[in-house]
Chains A and B, each alone.
Chain A
Amino acid sequence: MKNRIRVLRAEKNWSQAELAEKVGVSRNSINAIENDKFEPSLPLAFRIADAFAARIEEVFLRD
């Protein structure tokens, strides 16, 4: 699963730490998800999408 977290963060001008705080996880966790090293659970994926006010399929893409 790919994701557009880096692009969406850049659009909002948010750091990984800022996104992590909004979503309620650590900065390292956001880094792992953003770099495709970890696939988040559905609830966490929804929380990330909600933080960007986007639909989940706009943030996470199929391979």
Chain B
Amino acid sequence: MTSKQRQILLGAPLAIVPVVFLSVAPWLKSAVGGTVTTWVAAAVSAFVMFYAWYVALSMQRRLDEVQRAGADYAAKWGVTAGQIAFFVLLALPPFQNLVGELVNQPRGKVLLGMTIGAVGVVLLQAIGTVVAHLLWWRARR
């Protein structure tokens, strides 16, 4: 197996798991109810988050310094672009309706919940960045 094939295989669950969940979510909701579906959605999100972290770490270990600089650039701007895209998505009524239907809650409630969640993530990332920066300098004094 080539390293490219190994990378594709390693990254495949990041695409497969959310796609499978999104395609079975309507059926799941009708079969077991909105609450269970919400918990499954949370579990899928947690899995994707931690698995992406694991994949990124294991791939980064094999990179040389030029590739690492490229990955750092991509992560920095990719995260920013992803955050902006998410807030844009939040403003779109079709997305709000889709999520509202998925969790069986009014649109306003869903929008408020997701906005608080997204702002919370961005805020904690900002705090995490400051702490990591301080730790980095402390280790170099």
Contacts and interface: CB of A to CB of B under 8 A. Distances in A.
The SS class assigned to the A binding surface is loop
Given A25-B65, A26-B64, A41-B65, 4 more contacts: A32-B66, A38-B66, A38-B69, A40-B66
A44 interface: yes
Contacts of B66: 25-26, 28-29, 32-33, 38, 40
Interface residues of A, number: 11
B64 A24 contact: yes
Interface of B: 64-67, 69
Q: Which 8 A-B pairs have the closest CB atoms?
A: A29-B66, A25-B64, A38-B66, A32-B66, A29-B64, A41-B65, A44-B65, A26-B64
A6 to B, nearest CB: 16
A10 to B, nearest CB: 21
Interface string A20-51: 00001110110011000010110010000000
B82 to A, nearest CB: 25
A7 B27 CA distance: 64
Nearest to A30: B66
20 contacts: A25-B64, A25-B65, A25-B66, A25-B67, A26-B64, A26-B66, A28-B66, A29-B64, A29-B65, A29-B66, A29-B67, A32-B66, A33-B66, A38-B66, A38-B69, A40-B65, A40-B66, A41-B65, A44-B64, A44-B65
